[in-house]
């Protein structure tokens, strides 16, 4: 299936009820499962990954657990089930079986976990024999996926000796780790940074004492990035996005600063934000995405469409996502006339063409962010065709309906 997307006027105006944060929702679900006191989670994400995690946690005694393509779910459950009595096989999609998990497994083994690989060393599927873990002090590289670190932090209150993680190098994606620590604190579990280490003593999760307490998930700043891109590429825009907060737990909230470069003005209003079209800076753009890798694809599309040369640093984790996102961008942006030069594992140069080409279609590589990032080109080109558009269900199931509500036309073929 393909969608061909266009916008007749190239002008955006209206209001969007943005999808809830998948990152926040998944952390809240693990905390809810570990907390002895019951509480409600409001505004839980409708993302496929979150629904998968919620379903698995509602049937924790299953011996065979298939997470499909849900990367966060695989990582969080690897740690979670390592602390739960019983033996379980944790598997996923073909792509999931190619996504490395050895760093997390090694860390859990150091804490006393019993985990075996059932196929290729360092990759799912896993056989996990859960038990009470002793915990203690471990070492990790700081540039590993923040999901590995967050998975460990979420179970840290369960560990007999608590947890100390010493980082051997500078920590990347720190906002995601801080999100986890802030959510732990919401439930009376306190962790602490000590220069290049984190410590969490043995504690218990507790909900707040209010009788009607419920944890409410914020809207998803990562999802907001696609709307920022559309405003940047529009002729005129006045768009209200509901559900976003300031300050936010989410590192991707840096969008409001980053997109000023591309002519998008952000105003925080009651219940959300208002973004409008402003003047674009047409000089060279450079940014380090180490703390916000999920917006890199969106920004890559924007600089290409606006013919702004760019240097992206901090992209090393993009290679182990739903696809190799660096390679996928290189292939698909070339269809626009943009050359992506891979300088090393951490840096790429983007050299757009002065005359943007119209691609026949854009492949999504089973990656939700590829589909949504490239859809913004409908504001710049006559239309854009997206292959396998259903992949957006992974994080933003209502994306295509939201586009239609703001005047986009979508033809299926």
Contacts of 358 (CB under 8 A, 6+ apart): 381, 382
Annotated catalytic residue: which of 294, 363, 367, 402? 294
Its sign, for the CA torsion 331, 336, 342, 346, is negative
- Asked if omega into 125 is within 30° of 0 (cis), the reply is yes
Quickly list H helices, 174-324.
174-186, 221-233, 255-258, 296-305
DSSP bridge pairs for 323:
none
Structure tokens at 401: 């309906």
Q: In what order do the strands lie in the sheet with 64-66?
A: 64-66, 86-91, 126-130, 114-117
Distance CA 336, CA 304 (A): 8
What does residue 313 show for φ and ψ, rounded to 5 degrees? -110, 170
Structure tokens at 86: 């019983």
- CA distances from residue 181 to 171, 177, 184, 228, 313 in whole angstroms, order as listed: 15, 6, 5, 28, 26
Kindly report whether the peptide bond that precedes residue 172 is cis, defined as omega within 30 degrees of 0: no
Coil/strand/helix, residue 331? helix
d(CA 47, CA 72): 12
Contact by Cβ (8 Å): 167, 144: no
Contact 292, 304 (CB under 8 A): no
CA 28 – CA 32 distance, rounded (Å):
6
Is 257 marked active-site?
no
Q: Is 66 exposed, middle or buried (0-12, 13-18, 19+ CB in 10 A)?
A: middle
Which residue's entry shows tokens 């768009």? 239
Which sequence positions are flagged as catalytic?
Answer: 294
């Amino acid at each position: 299936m393909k969608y061909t997307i266009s916008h007749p006027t190239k002008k955006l105006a209206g209001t969007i009820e943005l999808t809830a944060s998948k990152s926040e929702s998944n952390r809240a679900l693990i905390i809810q499962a570990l907390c002895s006191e019951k509480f409600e989670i409001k505004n839980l994400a409708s993302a496929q990954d979150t629904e998968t995690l919620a379903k698995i946690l509602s049937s924790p005694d299953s011996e065979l657990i298939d997470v499909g393509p849900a990367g966060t779910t695989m990582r969080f459950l690897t740690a979670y089930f390592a602390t739960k009595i019983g033996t379980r096989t944790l598997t996923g999609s073909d792509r999931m079986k190619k996504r490395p998990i050895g760093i997390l497994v090694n860390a859990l083994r150091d804490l006393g976990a019993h985990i075996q690989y059932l196929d290729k060393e360092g990759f799912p599927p896993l056989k996990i024999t859960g038990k009470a873990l002793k915990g203690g002090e471990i070492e990790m590289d700081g540039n590993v996926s923040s999901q590995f670190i967050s998975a460990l932090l979420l179970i840290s209150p369960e560990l007999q000796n608590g947890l100390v993680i010493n980082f051997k190098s500078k920590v990347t994606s720190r906002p995601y780790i801080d999100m986890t620590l802030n959510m732990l604190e919401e439930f009376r579990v306190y962790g602490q940074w000590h220069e290049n280490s984190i410590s969490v003593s043995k504690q218990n999760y507790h909900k707040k004492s209010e009788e009607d307490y419920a944890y409410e998930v914020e809207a998803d700043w990562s999802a907001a990035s696609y709307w920022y891109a559309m405003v940047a590429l529009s002729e005129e825009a006045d768009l209200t996005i509901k559900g976003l907060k300031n300050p936010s737990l989410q590192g991707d909230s840096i969008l409001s600063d980053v997109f000023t470069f591309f002519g998008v003005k952000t105003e925080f209003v009651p219940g959300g934000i208002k973004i409008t079209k402003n003047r674009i800076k047409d000089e060279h753009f450079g940014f380090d995405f180490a703390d916000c890798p999920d917006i890199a694809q969106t920004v890559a599309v924007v600089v290409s469409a606006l013919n702004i040369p760019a240097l992206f640093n901090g992209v090393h984790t993009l290679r182990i996502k739903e696809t190799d996102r660096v390679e996928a961008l290189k292939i698909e942006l070339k269809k626009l006339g943009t050359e992506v030069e891979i300088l090393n594992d951490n840096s790429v140069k983007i050299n757009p063409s002065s005359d943007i080409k119209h691609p026949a279609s854009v492949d999504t590589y089973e990656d939700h962010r590829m589909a949504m990032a490239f859809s913004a080109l409908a504001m710049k080109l006559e239309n854009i065709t997206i292959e396998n558009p259903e992949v957006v269900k992974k994080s933003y199931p209502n994306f295509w309906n939201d586009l239609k509500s703001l005047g986009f036309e979508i033809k299926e073929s």
